[in-house]
Amino acid sequence: MKLLALGAAAVAVAALALTSGTASADDLPAFDFTGCPAPPTNADPGTWRCEAFVSQGKLTIDGREVPLGESRLTFSEGKVNGQYAQVFGALRHAPVTVPDLAGTTLQLHYGGYSDFQSDAERRGELDVYATLRHPLLRKGCTLGVLHTVVHDDPAVPPTVLSKNPPTMHFGVVDPDLALPATHGCGVLGPLVDRRLGLPSPSGANAFHQTTYVQYKQL
């Protein structure tokens, strides 16, 4: 689920012309920078900033759509000895109801790997996993870790909403996400897999996300 409007790090806000789109400065959410990690001790002075993302996403599994609601992510980036560096901050996601699984919720968590430096091939990469909760499921029921690689979504092009503070809106998509079967769910695990269509190979799934991001100098 290459969650989150990744890779805005490599996009220089000042270099982007204002793009037409549906988002406007009036739509801005409240950004939270409390999860921003501090720069490393050997960071180049004056080069570091924190990025705070507020995203709305959905996951499609073999034709079944799972609305993911809002997620929030922070990370810091800058230079160390003249080279680009980044430090992950936090991923926050409230549990959402899973369609076709009455009483079941899904919550996303950071999976231990991120790379938000964009290149010509993709916007960024992120590992996440999901916990599934239901009174009849074993505690520790999970889906993933999922390695997500997101690309720009042509339907939601980057839009500069403010230059002070730097604020953008854009969309990303991962059309190649592969999803494994669930793990640790107990005797009902096979039922959950059948209801969700898991495992599901690359090409049968898609992750879409629209994101607001704001930057703060550190």
pLDDT in tens, 62-95: 888 999 999 999 999 999 999 999 999 999 999 9
> Which percentage of the chain shows pLDDT scores above 70?
89
Average pLDDT over the chain reads: 89
Query: What is the pLDDT averaged over residues 194-202?
Result: 95
Query: What is the pLDDT averaged over residues 145-160?
Result: 95
* Rounded distance between C-alpha atoms, residue 216 and residue 218, angstroms: 6
My answer on whether omega of the bond before 158 falls inside 30° of 0, hence cis, is no
Query: What is the pLDDT averaged over residues 151-171?
Result: 95
Residue-level pLDDT at 27:
79
* Rounded distance between C-alpha atoms, residue 96 and residue 98, angstroms: 6
Six token digits for residue 167: 């604020």
Radius of gyration of the chain (CA): 18
Alpha carbon 181 to chain centroid, angstroms:
21
Six token digits for residue 155: 């339907």
20 confidence band (pLDDT: 50, 70, 90): very low
Diameter over CA atoms, the chain: 54
Least confident of 21-25, 106-110, 114-118, 191-195: 21-25
Bigger pLDDT: 13 vs 95? 95
Query: What is the pLDDT averaged over residues 202-212?
Result: 96
111 confidence band (pLDDT: 50, 70, 90): very high
Q: Is the pLDDT of residue 33 over 50?
A: yes
Q: Is the pLDDT of residue 136 over 60?
A: yes
pTM to 2 decimal places: 0.86
Number of other residues whose CB lies within 10 A of the CB of residue 112: 11
* 197, 61 Cβ separation under 8 angstroms: yes
In the chain, the amino acid numbered 55 is: S
Q: What one-character DSSP code corresponds to residue 120?
A: S
Residue labelled with tokens 């969650």: 3
Residue-level pLDDT at 4:
41
In the chain, the amino acid numbered 95 is: P
